[in-house]
Amino acid sequence: MEPQIHIESYGRFRDLLEAAPNAIFEVELDGTIVLLNVAAERMFGYQREALLGQLIEVLIPESLRQRHHEHRGRHAEYPLTRPMGIGLELWGRRNDGSQFPVEISLSPIRSSEGSRVIAIVRDITSRKEADAKIQAFTAELAAKNQQLEIRNREVERANRLKSEFLASMSHELRTPLHTIVGFADLLAEELKGPLNQNQKRFLDHIQRDSRHLLELINDILDLSKIESGRLELHPELFRVPDAVAEAMAGLRPLAENKQIRITEAIDRELEITADRLRFKEILSNLISNAIKFTPEKGQITIESSEGPKSVFFAVTDTGIGIDPAEQQAIFNKFYQLGSTTRGVREGTGLGLAITKSLVEMHGGRIWVESTPGQGSRFQLTLPRAGIERPAKSGESAHPFPGVQS
């Protein structure tokens, strides 16, 4: 039995139809338009009367009419509620001949007048435009990414070349410098005859500056090795207090010169797996800085504590301290705080950059806390047994990635 629509609710349906934002058509199976709403009039630019009784194909661009006709035939055979033309670009044609992209859904209905189809048409111009914009943007982004990747590779290559150049340069420079240092030391011993005051002063300059140059070259050599990935770590298990004592041996006279007291708070039994030589280098860089930047009669403390997976070290001084704004930058290459070292040929500005790289190569972390005028506390952690990394099948985990055993 046909459903009976009450006259009042029929009026409400009309209102609903007219309020709908999409164009709605009721079409007979042969394509004749029998009903449309105001949104349909507006979308296609027709008066309602001009469309009633017309074939729906007048609303389709001429070039697509034939295709539509065939599709309509098929829908009549298998009437189902579905979106129309899945995978096809659908176009509407306005009264003035202009075209616009549409999305259409079809619903078969059965009424007292026979089978019909309700077509709901949505103008998707703005969505298409947005899609096109997104596509253009995505393509642009992809192109930019590619450029960036090429640039990155160039930078990497240039960096590697620079490091290699520095490494070989430094090597070449070291040999003659050793000669200068050696002969200056010989002269200073006065075995070949006594020197007068002026000659001693000149010689002193030669010795100091050539040693500084040698230190700089050694640091550059180290850093360029680290940067080009050619510095290998040789991890071994060792007792920390022994290594600390060795690092301290060369530094104690410097501290004594300034009457700086050094306190060690290190567990006698503490052991760690790390590159012993590099570990000593890390500590002696931090301790020599502490001595350098602490005024006479100051105090330096070296301490360690053990966590389950890592060992913590701290070198604390009562020195000049570091401004909070500089506390990150001091780990950069060639960074020296202007006011503290200006005019003083001490250090190379590479010590902390090397120290940080060495700590990180071990899988550790280094940071500083400092109050200007009160002192600094350089802290670091090192994994007890190097970095844990998941073993790939057929391969045993090595505690130090990138390190050849």
Q: Which residues bind ligand ADP (CB under 6 A)?
A: 289-290, 293, 317, 319-320, 322, 330, 335-337, 340-341, 347-353, 376
CA distances from 182 to 214, 285, 367 (A): 12, 25, 38
Cβ closer to ligand ADP: 275 or 317? 317
* 3-state helix vs strand vs coil in the chain, percent to 5: 50, 20, 30
Q: At 335, which helix (H) or strand (E)? A: none
- Which residue, 251 or 320, has its beta carbon nearer to ligand ADP? 320
First to last CA, the chain: 88
Task: Return the number of the residue (41 or 369) whose C-beta is nearest ligand ADP.
Answer: 369
State in angstroms the smallest separation of the CB of 349 from ligand ADP: 4
Shortest distance, position 211 Cβ to ligand ADP, whole Å: 13
Q: Do 224 and 166 contact (CB within 8 A), yes or no?
A: yes
Q: From 293, 281, 301, select the one nearest 347 (Cα to Cα).
A: 293
Using CA atoms of 161, 163, 165, 166 in order, give the dihedral in degrees to the nearest 10. Answer: 160
Counted residue by residue, the chain has a size of 405
Is the backbone of residue 53 left (phi > 0), alpha (psi -120 to 50) or beta? left
> Distance (Å, rounded) from C-alpha 324 to C-alpha 290?
17
User: Checking phi first, is residue 321 left (phi over 0); if not, alpha (psi -120 to 50) or beta?
Assistant: left
Q: Between 255 and 330, name the residue whose CB sits nearer to ligand ADP.
A: 330
Shortest gap between Cβ of 342 and ligand ADP (angstroms)? Answer: 10
The distance of closest approach from Cβ of residue 299 to ligand ADP in the complex, given in angstroms and rounded to an integer, is 12
In the complex, which residue's CB is closest to ligand ADP?
347
With respect to ligand ADP, which residue has the nearer C-beta, 271 or 369? 369
Neighbours of 246 (CB within 10 A): 15
**SS3 call for 93:** strand
Identity of the residue, 75 or 211, whose beta carbon is nearer to ligand ADP in the bound complex: 211
DSSP H or E segment with residue 383 = strand 375-383
Report which of 48, 23, 56 is spatially closest to residue 122, judged by C-alpha positions: 23
> What 3-state DSSP class applies to 206?
helix
- Smallest separation (angstroms) from ligand ADP to the CB of 218: 12
Q: Which is nearer to ligand ADP, 98 or 374 (CB)?
A: 374
CB of 359 to ligand ADP, least distance (A): 13
To the nearest whole angstrom, how small is the minimum distance from the Cβ of residue 244 to ligand ADP?
17
- Measured from the CB of residue 392, what is the shortest distance to ligand ADP in angstroms? 37
Which residue, 40 or 352, has its beta carbon nearer to ligand ADP?
352
Asked whether the CA dihedral 265, 267, 268, 271 is positive or negative, the reply is negative
Residue among 335 and 367 whose Cβ is closer to ligand ADP: 335
